[in-house]
Chains A and B, each alone.
Chain A
Amino acid sequence: GAVVSQHPSWVICKSGTSVKIECRSLDFQATTMFWYRQFPKQSLMLMATSNEGSKATYEQGVEKDKFLINHASLTLSTLTVTSAHPEDSSFYICSVKPRDRGSDTQYFGPGTRLTVL
Chain B
Amino acid sequence: LAKTTQPISMDSYEGQEVNITCSHNNIATNDYITWYQQFPSQGPRFIIQGYKTKVTNEVASLFIPADRKSSTLSLPRVSLSDTAVYYCLVISYNTDKLIFGTGTRLQVFP
A residues lining the B interface (CB < 8 Å)? 1, 4, 6, 32, 34, 36, 43-46, 49, 91, 93-95, 97, 103-111, 113
Contacts and interface: CB of A to CB of B under 8 A. Distances in A.
B42 A32 contact: no
Interface in B5-63: 32, 34, 36, 41-46, 49
A45 B43 CA distance: 12
Contacts, number: 55
Interface string B72-110: 000000000000000100010100111111110000000
**B interface, over-half SS:** loop
Contact of B45 (A45, A46, A91, A108): A108
Given A1-B46, A105-B49, A111-B41, A97 B96 contact: yes
Given A46-B97, A95-B43, 7 more contacts: A44-B44, A45-B100, A46-B100, A49-B97, A95-B44, A107-B46, A110-B42
Given A32-B96, A34-B96, A104-B93, A43 B87 contact: yes
B42 to A, nearest CB: 6
B41 A91 contact: yes
A36 to B, nearest CB: 8
20 contacts: A4-B43, A6-B43, A32-B96, A36-B100, A43-B102, A93-B43, A94-B43, A95-B43, A95-B44, A104-B32, A104-B91, A105-B34, A105-B49, A106-B46, A106-B96, A107-B46, A108-B43, A108-B46, A110-B42, A110-B43
